[in-house]
Structure 1
Amino acid sequence: MNIVFVEPGFPANQRRFVLALASVGANVIGIGESDEYTLDDELRDAMSGYYKVGSVTSVHEMTEAVRFVQSKVWVDRLEATVEAHTMPAAQVREAAGIPGTSVRTTWLCRDKPSMKQALREAGVPTAASTAADHAHEVWAFAESVGYPLILKPRDGAGAKDTVRVDGDSELSHALTDFGSHGSTSIAVEEFVEGHEGFYDTITRNGRVVHDWTTHYYPNVLEAMRTRWISPQFVTTNRMADSDFYREVAELGQRVIEALGIETSATHMEWFYGPKGLRFSEIGCRPPGVGCWDLYSASNDVDVYREWAHIITYGMPEHQMRRPYAAGIVALRPTANGTIQGYSGIDEIQGRYGEWILDGHFPPQGHHTQPVEAGYMANAYVRMRHPDYDTLRGMLDDVGQTITVHAG
């Protein structure tokens, strides 16, 4: 199978998808923005060809590049795994007659108000929401729904630029901020109280082949705005034993069908609280922040290779038997500035060495990243354990024991 892969060299994790495709026997042709000579030998060897463009988000340039490839070989698939690349890739697929995720499905997975409207029409429980092009529309929605509200870019990913407002003054300030950043249209949503997690899948022809359910501790907005918290996300190995996890999986399948997702990785956020299980949003692409590394470790299966096998052959190579739960704990620097050192690492290694997957500790003198930059922006530790509750306690202990000294 001949597969065109969008931007194999950046960000760094992209190479994992290319290597996985090559490992299952796919013929991979890369299109990216880097000069080919800057790619490492292993990555270059995994591709039979490479085409440089000025921008992988330029539909014109990408279409020209893909049509050039089509003049040499039959192209079976065009794959993009970065959120910002998904819409140009969908438009190029339709222009070049290549099967894959459609422009309509990509739009519904990126434009949050349209996404939620389509899902409400399909009977999927979700928060009230609207798309607002003018401030008066936001104020009208606030009057109708009440506070708290969530404001975010219509096509944003994760918690980036997402704000919660609890009253008129906060709403006025938030609208001013969005305007100052050039936002002409935003998504406004009812705040859904409850615990937050995500449900990730790899689908084939609209049916889930592999899936994983993961919990945030605490919820993302709080985690990304509070320095003293060492936030975690933990993927469970109890999916087969819980009515709740079956409900999450059923919700996910309904969303996939309603949005017309065929063969793709997906990343779906959900809340569970007083109003029950509620869908939040979905991306028609793999999750970020190393989630697939945790899923691989929790199953002793290379999830990147599983994705490649499904894309190439339409079937899984292995099943997810879930012998372990796995998670990450982010370790925040004590202040913005530069890393001055660490304490507590030896104690944690001594207590839990056999269960530690890896850790990342930027060197002394390295500049810190802001709290809102995410779970892998500074130091972190990743672990696994056969018992979910035991793992949670271990991750808590890591967050309380290791200090990232900075200033």
Structure 2
Amino acid sequence: MNVVFVEPHFPRNQREFVRGLAAVGATVVGIGESPLDALDHDLQGWLHHYEQVPSVTDVGRMTEVVRWVQSKLWVDRLEATIEAHTLPAAHVREACGIPGTSSRTAWLCRDKPSMKQVLRDAGVPTAASAAVDSAAQAHAFAADVGFPLILKPRAAAGAAGTVRVDDRDQLDHALGVFGSEGTDSIAVEEFVEGHEGFYDTLTVDGHVVHDFVSHYYPNVLEAMRTRWISPQFVATNRLDEAPDYEEVREMGRRVIAGLGIGTSATHMEWFFGPKGLRFSEIGCRPPGVGAWDLYSAGNEMDLYREWAHAIVHGGPSQHASRRYAAGIIALRPDADGRITGYSGLDEAQQRYGSWVIDAHLPEPGTATQPIEAGYMANAYVRMRHPDYDELRRMLDDVGRTVQVHAS
């Protein structure tokens, strides 16, 4: 099978999808924004050919390049795994007659108000939401639904640009911020109280062949706004044992069917609280922040290769073992500036070294990143353990023990 892969070089884990495709026998053509000599030796070796373009979101230029590739060899698939690339890639597929995720599905997975309306019509429980183009519309929504509310860009990924507002004054301030950034239309949603997690799948022809559930501690919005918290997300290995997860799985199947997702990775966020289980949003692509690395370590499998096997051969090649729960804890610097050092590393290593998957500890002198940049922006540790509760305890202890100092 011949596969065009969009942007194989950046971010770093993009190369793993190319590796997986090459490992299962695909001929891979890469199209990206970096020059060829920026690609490392292994990545160049996995690619049959590479084309550089100014922007992989330029549908016209991408269509020209893909048609040129088609003049040289038959193209079976065109794959994109970054949120911002999914809709342009779908337009290129349709222009070039390549099967895969449709532009309608990609658009619904990007435009949150439209996504939720389609799923509400399909009976999936979601928060009340709307697309608003003016302050008057936002205030009318607030009058109907009440505070607090969540405001976010219509096509944002994760918590990017997301704000909570608790009253009219905060709403006006947030609308002013969006307006100053040139945002004409935003998504406004009912705030859903409850625990937040995500449900990720590998889906073939609309059927889930691999699935995983992870939990956030604390919820994302709080984690990305509060410096003293060392936030975590943890992938459970109890998915096949705990009956409560069947409700999440059933919701996921209904969402996938409702949005017309065929063969793709998916990343779905959900809340569970006083109002029960509520769908939040879905991306028609793999999760970010190294979640697939955790799933691979916890289930003794290469999920990148499994994705590639599903694309190329139409199904999975192995089973998830569910042997380990696996999680990440983000370690925030105590101040902005430059990292000056660490404390508690030896103690944590002595206690838990055998359960550590890997760690990222930037060298002293490295500039810190803002906490809202995410779980992997500064230091982090990733661990696994057969017992989910014990892993949670271990991650909590690492968060208390290891300190990142900066000035």
Paired position in structure 2 for 1:285: 285
Equivalent residues in 2 for 1:130-209, closer than 5 Å: 130-209=130-209
AA of the residue aligned to 1:399 = G
Paired position in structure 2 for 1:47: 47
Equivalent residues in 2 for 1:244-393, closer than 5 Å: 244-393=244-393
Q: TM-score, normalised by structure 1?
A: 0.99
AA of the residue aligned to 2:274 = P
AA of the residue aligned to 1:320 = A
Paired position in structure 1 for 2:102: 102
| Unpaired segments ≥5 residues, structure 1 | none
Deviations 1:82-116 (A, max 9, x none): 01111110000000000000000001000000000
| In structure 1, distance between residues paired with 2:218 and 2:403 | 19
| In structure 1, distance between residues paired with 2:33 and 2:337 | 32
AA of the residue aligned to 2:273 = G
Paired position in structure 1 for 2:91: 91
Deviations 1:280-301 (A, max 9, x none): 0000000000000000000110
AA of the residue aligned to 1:377 = A
| In structure 2, distance between residues paired with 1:34 and 1:129 | 38
AA of the residue aligned to 1:157 = A
CA drift at 1:53: 1.1
Paired position in structure 2 for 1:34: 34
CA drift at 1:225: 0.3
Tell me whether 108-117 or 169-178 shows the greater mean CA deviation: 169-178
CA drift at 1:39: 1.1
Q: Secondary structure at the match of 1:193?
A: coil
| In structure 2, distance between residues paired with 1:247 and 1:99 | 31
Deviations 1:320-369 (A, max 9, x none): 12000000000000000000100001000000111011111111011000
AA of the residue aligned to 1:114 = S
| In structure 2, distance between residues paired with 1:260 and 1:249 | 17
Q: Secondary structure at the match of 2:240?
A: helix
Is 1:218 aligned to residue 218 of structure 2? yes
AA of the residue aligned to 2:358 = D
Is 1:118 aligned to residue 118 of structure 2? yes
| In structure 1, distance between residues paired with 2:41 and 2:350 | 38
Q: TM-score, normalised by structure 2?
A: 0.99
| In structure 2, distance between residues paired with 1:182 and 1:97 | 35
Is 1:76 aligned to residue 76 of structure 2? yes
Q: Secondary structure at the match of 1:243?
A: coil
Q: Secondary structure at the match of 2:200?
A: strand
Q: Secondary structure at the match of 2:51?
A: strand
Paired position in structure 2 for 1:11: 11
Deviations 1:139-165 (A, max 9, x none): 000000000100000000000110000
CA drift at 1:61: 0.6
| In structure 2, distance between residues paired with 1:38 and 1:211 | 34
| In structure 2, distance between residues paired with 1:88 and 1:5 | 13
Paired position in structure 2 for 1:401: 401
CA drift at 1:36: 1.2
Q: Secondary structure at the match of 1:51?
A: strand
Q: Secondary structure at the match of 2:269?
A: strand
Deviations 1:57-87 (A, max 9, x none): 0001100000001001110000000011111
CA drift at 1:172: 0.9
| In structure 1, distance between residues paired with 2:33 and 2:166 | 43
| In structure 2, distance between residues paired with 1:215 and 1:142 | 29
| In structure 2, distance between residues paired with 1:146 and 1:243 | 34
Q: Secondary structure at the match of 1:293?
A: helix
| In structure 2, distance between residues paired with 1:207 and 1:42 | 33
CA drift at 1:370: 0.6
CA drift at 1:398: 0.4
AA of the residue aligned to 1:109 = C
| In structure 1, distance between residues paired with 2:386 and 2:103 | 41
AA of the residue aligned to 2:183 = S
Paired position in structure 1 for 2:62: 62
| In structure 2, distance between residues paired with 1:105 and 1:26 | 25
Tell me whether 32-41 or 179-188 shows the greater mean CA deviation: 32-41
Q: Secondary structure at the match of 2:5?
A: strand
Q: Secondary structure at the match of 2:72?
A: coil
Tell me whether 189-198 or 48-57 shows the greater mean CA deviation: 48-57
Identity across matched positions, percent: 70
Q: Secondary structure at the match of 1:242?
A: coil
AA of the residue aligned to 1:48 = H
Deviations 1:159-192 (A, max 9, x none): 0110000111111111111111111000000000
Q: Secondary structure at the match of 2:244?
A: helix
| In structure 2, distance between residues paired with 1:160 and 1:403 | 26
CA drift at 1:23: 0.6
| In structure 1, distance between residues paired with 2:119 and 2:243 | 22
| Unpaired segments ≥5 residues, structure 2 | none
Q: Secondary structure at the match of 1:240?
A: coil
Tell me whether 262-271 or 43-52 shows the greater mean CA deviation: 43-52
In the comparison of the two structures, how many residue pairs are matched?
A: 407
Q: Which runs of 4+ in 1 moved over 6 A?
A: none
